[in-house]
Structure 1
Amino acid sequence: MCVVEPNSRFLKKLGAITLLYVEDEDAIRTQISEFLGRHVGSLIDVSSAEEAMVQYKKHAPDVLLLDVNLPVKNGLTLAEEIRREDRDVRIIVSTAYTDKAFLLQAVELELTRYLVKPVTGSDLLEALEKAVNEIERIEGQEHHTDLGFGYSYERDRKQLRYAKVLVTLRRKEMELLEYFIAHRDQTLSYETLQYEIWRDTPMSRDAIRAQIRNIRKKTYRDIIINVPAIGYIMSQKGSK
């Protein structure tokens, strides 16, 4: 495969990850697997979404590489099922599709990248570098996040604190706060929040606003900032 040589620091990090690769075409799976096997720490390759789910539950991979056009259950449906349970796993998809409906679904699933076939070695390494960077960012947030003005959040314990005092959050408030922390400096639309936090339960904009107000009352007003007509953003600047 055609490839641009990556830097040694990235290759070292890549060598520590577990990747689950799903592709139903044997020739493509063999070629890509041979390439990936030279770079990632552990590789599991399967040919169906059903087998992929079994291996996902068994190995808890760091990165998923999914073909969209799988038999029985397609790659995006598989990604959606996994994303409901796991917001941290990085997902890369390969596809021949670039239509609007696909792109919208890709955004909603927080894909690290989608690759248009035929996929080159350089395409794969660029996508994997982005995935590794995202993993590092998530891991850096797992233990302690400074939210500014004396507030901090410990994700592993799911605790919000003001100085050393525990601040009680309801479940949805906690899920919202965690989602904003994981996407700091990103504008999050009402539609994205609806999909990621409430899934199939319809929530009006007013209901989402009420949850944001609750978080602000328990912290401070500018912890989450309005983006008019779109949604909200949690800025890194707020912690300074």
Structure 2
Amino acid sequence: MTSIKELAKLLKEVSILYVEDEDEIREEVAQVLSLLSNRVITASDGEEAFKIFSELKPQIIITDIEMPRTNGIEFARLVREKDLQVPIIMFTAYTNKEYLLPAANLNIQAYLVKPLESKSLREALYNVVELLQLTANLTYHISSELIYDKVNGIFVYQEKDTIKLNKKEKNLMDLLIGNKDRVITYDEIENYVWKDFDEVMTSMALRTIIKNLRRKTPIDFLENISGQGYRLNVCE
């Protein structure tokens, strides 16, 4: 079993989408979540949340049930049409089984009853992170010989050699891995890779990162799409 300390470290690098229509509650819970994860995204209803989910592919979803436009159960159903595995935690003011029955077939990892207790939320997230770790959602096979460890920001080559990435290299890999089915534009790269730096991306700076990543591994997994950006070539 993974230790609490290790689960907390893993959770820091996991992206969380939190959906709540009440502004005050959303802000309060988002603050709590920000202490647990460095990557918290919020939405005010299921419709907005599904757009964010489709674009950013968060690793954990936390959603209220009662919301306007698209409620939590409808949102979860839309998610499950695209992704059967992403963990979903639901907040609810109800404990009535009949009320929760529509969610029975949606593979919900946990139900948390309002008003929310920070301890219950933390424990639910640790359980989900352990599940993610078991299902290898925090490590990615670039090829049969090369694995990317997202938590530690390293490549593992031939199951023995570890290759450490710097912050910008890790940011770029996280962005590419999270969107491995499409081309990542130069604007997206600048907004994400340079988000923690007080500087503007230049074409030379980006080329240097790409060159360094290619030099660090014997496998060329980065494809440049002329005039558009970069795409990750992953051998599933």
Does the C-alpha gap of structure 1 residues 107 and 134 become closer, same or farther in structure 2, counting only changes over 3 Å? farther
Equivalent residues in 2 for 1:90-101, closer than 5 Å: 90-101=87-98
**Equivalent residue for 1:46, pick from 30, 43, 48:** 43
1:88 CA drift (Å):
1.5
- Aligned equivalents of 1:73, 1:13: Cα separation in 2: 31
- Aligned equivalents of 1:34, 1:18: Cα separation in 2: 14
Asked if 1:58 is matched to 2:55, the reply is: yes
What residue in structure 2 maps to residue 112 of structure 1?
A: 109
- Aligned equivalents of 1:11, 1:127: Cα separation in 2: 12
- Aligned equivalents of 1:118, 1:126: Cα separation in 2: 16
1:143 CA drift (Å):
9.0
What residue in structure 2 maps to residue 20 of structure 1?
A: 17
Asked if 1:129 is matched to 2:126, the reply is: yes
Residue pair 2:7, 2:130 contacting (<8 A) in 1 also: no
What residue in structure 2 maps to residue 70 of structure 1?
A: 67
Does the C-alpha gap of structure 1 residues 143 and 43 become closer, same or farther in structure 2, counting only changes over 3 Å? closer
What residue in structure 2 maps to residue 30 of structure 1?
A: 27
- Aligned equivalents of 1:136, 1:9: Cα separation in 2: 11
Residue pair 2:62, 2:88 contacting (<8 A) in 1 also: yes
Report Cα offsets for 1:82-128 as digits up to 9, x if no partner.
01210111000000112222343333111110101001110110110
- Root-mean-square deviation (CA, aligned residues, Å) is 2.1
Equivalent residues in 2 for 1:126-205, closer than 5 Å: 126-139=123-136
What residue in structure 1 maps to residue 83 of structure 2?
A: 86
Percent identity for Structure 1 against Structure 2: 35
- Aligned equivalents of 2:99, 2:127: Cα separation in 1: 21
- Aligned equivalents of 1:112, 1:97: Cα separation in 2: 17
Instruction: Structure 1: state its 5+ residue gaps.
Output: 1-5, 145-240
1:38 CA drift (Å):
1.3
The letter for the 2-side match of 1:96 is A
Residue pair 2:19, 2:46 contacting (<8 A) in 1 also: yes
- Aligned equivalents of 1:112, 1:45: Cα separation in 2: 19
Number of residue pairs matched?
A: 138
Residue pair 2:64, 2:72 contacting (<8 A) in 1 also: yes
Residue pair 1:88, 1:135 contacting (<8 A) in 2 also: no
1:7 CA drift (Å):
2.8
Does the C-alpha gap of structure 1 residues 92 and 57 become closer, same or farther in structure 2, counting only changes over 3 Å? same
Asked if 1:9 is matched to 2:6, the reply is: yes
Residue pair 1:22, 1:46 contacting (<8 A) in 2 also: yes
